[in-house]
């Protein structure tokens, strides 16, 4: 099978490409715009081993429908997996425009080109954040109402609805996946796990938004990749599947666990101004994915955190490569405003 993976130079896309090339004999075409979050260096070993045979890279924007159309035809694509998006909630609060462009317009463009090209499977990689926020009890199911609270979540929910409309109106075989918070190798260090680890490593304060009592469900990235692979093989067109990691923790506990693994003092924890519209709790009921796809997370949180921290320790060069320019500028400005 020839699979177009969009956003393959980002965190989850990179892990997915490694996963698929290792697990199957598919050919992967990676279309990525190389925003601040896209890093060609993530795939150096894939290029070395598979380039021009089972792996091809195309630089481009999913909003560019003619370019997408050309790629679908040239590579005789069978399936599309759309990871390409602006993904960071804090950035969507400061500057939502690009989220509307890539996440909504981009998904529409991909759907349009893919349906015209007669693509057999289209996986839209979405998020639990489209459901909004939970109280202390209960879980999100696929039937939970959409109630996004950040511009990021609203842009992803909009894309999910476009997918629904393409299935209902044109019979286009779209599947939407909604997953909880991922962590693992190659995650851009603006997100909680790598950011906390890398700041603690340099004995810099680790920022906790608000009281740190917000709860997220954490899933190791390879478990998410396996879920998407299962969708490609067994997913029901038109379906939505939740994926979760069975690992609900308050943010403060996540940071303490990271500091414990590193042998660092809790004195590094710094409470900062809360994120506006901060969702209190996410938690997933993934029983549909379990029943229909046989999905279950395999990596426990403590194990996944150790794997992640060891990866960042072993890949200092990768970290140094992205700790520059635009990234530093955004982070410094953000923390000055919050502290
Ligand atoms: P990321 O920010 O690390 O990577 C996004 C990638 O998309 C980058 O390589 C970037 O260059 C590329 N991209 C952005 N806009 C593009 C465009 N217009 N055209 C082509 N490429 C473009 O994101 P991630 O954390 O890997 O998330 C991937 C997907 O998974 C996103 O759709 C996100 O909403 C979804 N998701 C993420 C999580 C999570 O915890 N990170 C959880 C659930 C769902
Ligand atoms: P994040 O990694 O940005 O993912 P998301 O907002 O998509 O869930 O944040 C995870 C949680 O951690 C969220 O509740 C916000 C909080 N957080 C902090 O407390 N400090 C930080 O420095 C960051 C980046 C996030």
> What are the tens digits of pLDDT across the range 207-242?
999 999 999 999 999 999 999 999 999 999 999 999
CA distances from 50 to 13, 22, 70, 114, 145 (A): 16, 11, 22, 25, 43
For the chain, percent of residues with pLDDT exceeding 90: 94
Kindly state the tokens that stand for 252: 């403060």
Any atom of ligand 2 within 6 Å of the Cβ of 200: no
- Let me know the angle formed at the C-alpha of 101 by 141 and 35, rounded to the nearest 5 degrees: 95
CA–CA separation, 123 vs 173, rounded Å? 9
Overall pTM surpassing 0.75 (yes/no): yes
CA of 266 to the centre of ligand 1 (A): 32
> Is 80 exceeded by the pLDDT of residue 193?
yes
User: pLDDT-based confidence at 335, cuts 50/70/90?
Assistant: confident
Residues 6+ apart with CB under 8 A from 100: 151, 155
CA of 203 to the centre of ligand 1 (A): 29
Which domains occur in the chain, in start order? 2-186+217-246+280-299 (3.40.50.720)
Mean pLDDT for 79-85 is 99
Nearest CA to ligand 2 atom 5: 89
> What are the tens digits of pLDDT across the range 238-277?
999 999 999 999 999 999 999 999 999 999 999 999 999 9
**pLDDT at residue 49 in the model:** 95
> Is 80 exceeded by the pLDDT of residue 330?
no
Identify the nearest ligand to the CA of 157 by its number.
1
Any atom of ligand 2 within 6 Å of the Cβ of 164: no
**pLDDT at residue 337 in the model:** 74
Any atom of ligand 2 within 6 Å of the Cβ of 189: no
């Amino acid at each position: 099978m020839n699979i177009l993976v969009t956003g393959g130079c980002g965190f989850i896309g990179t892990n997915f490409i490694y996963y698929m090339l290792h697990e199957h004999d598919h050919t992967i075409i990676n279309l990525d715009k190389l925003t601040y979050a896209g890093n060609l260096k993530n795939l150096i070993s894939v290029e070395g081993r598979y380039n021009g045979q089972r792996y091809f890279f195309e630089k481009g924007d999913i909003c560019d429908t003619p370019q997408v159309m050309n790629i679908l035809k040239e590579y005789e694509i069978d399936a599309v997996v759309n990871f390409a998006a602006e993904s960071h909630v804090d950035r969507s609060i400061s500057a939502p425009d690009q989220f509307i462009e890539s996440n909504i317009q981009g998904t529409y463009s991909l759907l349009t080109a893919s349906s015209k090209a007669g693509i057999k499977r289209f996986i839209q990689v979405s998020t639990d954040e489209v459901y909004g926020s939970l109280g202390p009890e209960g879980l999100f199911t696929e039937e939970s109402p959409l109630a996004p609270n950040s511009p990021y979540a609203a842009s992803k929910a909009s894309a999910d609805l476009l997918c629904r409309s393409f299935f209902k109106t044109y019979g286009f075989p779209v599947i939407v996946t909604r997953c909880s918070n991922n962590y693992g190798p190659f995650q851009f260090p603006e997100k909680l796990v790598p950011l906390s680890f890398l700041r603690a490593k340099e004995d810099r304060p680790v920022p906790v938004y608000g009281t740190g009592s917000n709860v997220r469900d954490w899933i190791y990235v390879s478990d998410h990749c396996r879920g998407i692979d299962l969708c490609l093989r067994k997913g029901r067109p038109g379906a939505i599947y939740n994926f979760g990691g069975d690992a609900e923790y308050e943010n403060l506990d996540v940071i303490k666990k990271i500091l414990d693994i590193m042998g660092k003092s809790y004195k590094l924890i710094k409470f900062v101004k809360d994120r506006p519209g901060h969702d209190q709790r996410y938690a997933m009921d993934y029983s549909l994915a379990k029943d229909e796809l046989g999905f279950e997370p395999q990596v426990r949180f403590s194990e996944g955190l150790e794997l992640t921290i060891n990866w960042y320790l072993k890949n200092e060069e990768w970290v140094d490569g992205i700790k520059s320019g635009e990234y530093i500028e955004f982070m410094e400005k953000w923390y000055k405003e919050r502290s």
